[in-house]
Amino acid sequence: MDLRRGQKEPLAKHAAGLEFDVECYHKAALSLRYACFGLGADGRLPDNRYLVYDKQNASPQEEICVTQGTFAQLFRFHIDLAKLPPSIDRLAFTVASDGPESMRHLEKGSIRFMQERSEVLKYAYEGTEFTSERSLVICEVYRKDGAWRLAAVGRGFTGGFQALTKSYGGVLSLDIPVPPAPAPLGGEKEISQMSLPPHVVSRMQNLSRQASGDRQYLAPFYRALFACVNVLPESVSRPVRTVMVADASGSMFAAYENGRVQRAIDKLFPLATVLHESVSMDFWAFGAKSRQFDPVLMENVRSYSFDVSGGYERWMSMLNYQYNNEAEAMRDIMMIYASSREPVLTLFITDGHLSAEWQIEEVLLKTSRFPVFWQFIGLSGAEYGILEQVSEIPGRFSANANFLKLSDIDDISETELYTRLLTAVCHWNTEVEAKKLIR
């Protein structure tokens, strides 16, 4: 069975017994280091002896062993889950660049689960799925409700093997510095020195603590975001609620399948948690119809588009994926948020080919007296029509819309992405105050 990024499967469904081999293969012109981390329920190493890699090739009872394969780019882990102590709840299989190169230089990679030399599960990926990440959590095997499950993770970390090891084994609250421009700070102690409201400082400290363990992949996003907030402190001058709205029409299928929409969720969720104390991001999806789903939370962000409410394929079925109706989604959203007592930032993802441009313009005109800002983000598409002139639509009471065009969410750095979005928030906060949009 070929797994997709974010997919989870019961191990017993595919493997007979709890003993198997895991083969990691990568075609790349760079030096790589493989590892298996035996983690506790908190996502950390309870014992450094359960870090198995080239310098420590077996765990205490040889529950996890690693050997090099028949050629340099292949490594094989032998796993016996039955021997693991109760303190080990999760195995994370990783690979890291041993030099300055990122995983983008990888041609292709795969991980295979083998029993008696037969492949039972496989997850494959390519370097084009990554940018500056120097290490990668490929997949995880974990306990849930007394049974073992497997998840195809495919998450990158900016740091190399040493940073990855530290993320699993130490106190991580100091690992996300909140830097003033231009020099970086060292940790939570320095956060309090920033010229930000005390409640915002406290929120940022809390978020830095939460971006640990299996949420460590969020750390680079928070790091870049905190730096931008320090440069634009007016962006957090008042609470702003964030709503993400995602196109779930058929033309977006590939962007969901290859994880690019999930990547957008990963990057936009931290923004929502810094702008508002709720540590959540409301989420809507639309095709011909629109619907609100469960909010994005720390607990579900990691595989939101693959798991929540059945995942994106189920969303497309529910919402009639045959075409995208942006105006209908905008009307539905206004019914919920028009009377908000806080400004609302709507991050509206679409791949273009709009169904009714004049209706979008009509909604923008009618909603310009409400505290909702429409930040349209063109992703993986073309023919955005009126969205490319949305900031110039005349007759609006407030400048309530903006457009950012990207082929991919990783086209620009996190710093540039957050700077653009926070700048829009700054302008919107000024509009809200000057024109008394909050009733």
Domains of the chain, each with CATH number or no CATH? 2-169 (2.60.60.30), 235-434 (3.40.50.410)
CA distance 77 to 94: 11
User: What token pair was written down for 418?
Assistant: 């957050």
What pLDDT sits at residue 439? Answer: 65
What pLDDT sits at residue 37? Answer: 93
pTM comes to 0.60
pLDDT at 184 over 60: no
pLDDT: is 279 or 192 the higher one? Answer: 279
CA distance 377 to 351: 8
CA distance 215 to 124: 22
What pLDDT sits at residue 172? Answer: 31
Mean of pLDDT values over 262-278: 94
Strand 280-286 to 32-39 pairing: unpaired
Contact 108, 93 (CB under 8 A): no
What pLDDT sits at residue 157? Answer: 82
User: What mean pLDDT, rounded, does the chain reach?
Assistant: 85
pLDDT digits 0-9 by tens, 59-117: 988 999 998 765 557 888 999 999 999 989 999 999 988 777 888 888 888 999 998 88
Which band of pLDDT confidence, cut at 50, 70 and 90, is reported for residue 42?
confident
Q: How far apart are the first and last CA of the chain?
A: 55
Bond preceding residue 182 cis, omega within 30 of 0: yes
Mean of pLDDT values over 202-231: 87
CA distance 298 to 281: 10
Contact 351, 323 (CB under 8 A): no
pLDDT over 70 for what percent of the chain? 92
Q: What is the CA radius of gyration of the chain?
A: 23
CA distance 74 to 111: 10
pLDDT digits 0-9 by tens, 116-162: 888 889 999 988 888 888 889 999 999 988 899 999 998 888 778 88
CA distance 245 to 313: 16
CA distance 8 to 142: 10
pLDDT at 192 over 60: no
Mean of pLDDT values over 235-250: 93
